[in-house]
Amino acid sequence: MTAPALSTAATDRPDSGTGPGTGPGGGPGTGPGTGAASGSGTAEVAMRDIEQQLLTILTRVRRTMAGRARRIHPELQGAGYAILLRLVKQDATRASDLVAALDLDKGFVSRQVAHLERLGLVERVGDPDDRRAQRITLTQVGRDTLDRVQSQARADFERRLAGWTPEELTRFAANLRRYNEGLRA
C-alpha cells in the first residue's frame, strides 16, 4: 500500500477546474506540474493543495469539536470542549493558563468556564500556591462525561485510519509533528 496522498480531485479545489498535472480537458499532459522542468510548478501546486487540505481539516475540526461539545451538553460550545480537553491534560489550571494555552480572549475563557461550572462539569478550587487565586478542575461528572465522549471520538478516529499501515501512520504523525513544530518558530 502506498502512502495516502493529499486529494487533488477537482471537487476538492473550488478555485480550479482541473487537478495538478491535467490538461485543459482534464486529461494528463499540459497542466501545471507536468514535464521535467516544472519542479517549482509542482511545488506551487502542492503548496496550494496543502493549503486547501489544511482549510478542509480546520473546518472539519471545528465542526467535530462542536459536535463533541453537544454530546456533552446541548448548550456547550466547541471552545468549552477545548477547555475540558485542556483540563484533562493539565487539571487544576488557572484561567490565565487556559487563556495562554488555548490562545483565547480572557473574557471569553471566563464566560466559558462560568458556563462549564453551571453545567456541573468544572469547579473552582483554591490555589495552594496563592490563596488569592483559584484553579479550575474537572468535576467527577465532567471527567466521566468527557471520558465517554473521548472514547467515542477515539473509536471514530481509529475507524478512519483503519486502512493505513503502521508505516503510513508513523510517517503521517512525523509530518504533522514537523509542521506543528514549524508553527512555533
pLDDT tens per residue, range 65-94 = 999 999 999 999 999 999 999 999 998 999
CATH code for the domain in which residue 42 is found: 1.10.10.10
- What is the average per-residue pLDDT within 128-137? 89
Q: Does residue 53 carry a pLDDT above 50?
A: yes
* Whole-model pTM over 0.85: no
Task: Cell numbers for 157, please give them.
Answer: 478516529
Q: DSSP character for 7?
A: P
Q: Determine the pLDDT at residue 40.
A: 76
Beta partners for 50?
none
The answer to whether position 112 is within a domain reads: yes
Give how many domains the chain has, as a whole number. Answer: 1
DSSP 34-58: -STT-HHHHHHHHHHHHHHHHHHHH
Q: Residue 104 in contact with residue 86, Cβ under 8 Å?
A: no
For the chain, give the mean pLDDT.
Answer: 82
The answer to whether position 173 is within a domain reads: no
- What is the average per-residue pLDDT within 30-49? 70
The answer to whether position 143 is within a domain reads: yes
Task: Cell numbers for 18, please give them.
Answer: 482541473
Q: Determine the pLDDT at residue 10.
A: 36
Domain hosting residue 75, numbered range = 38-163
Q: Return the percentage of the chain with pLDDT > 90, whole number.
A: 69
Distance in angstroms (rounded) separating the CA atoms of residues 43 and 99: 37
The answer to whether position 154 is within a domain reads: yes
Q: Determine the pLDDT at residue 76.
A: 94
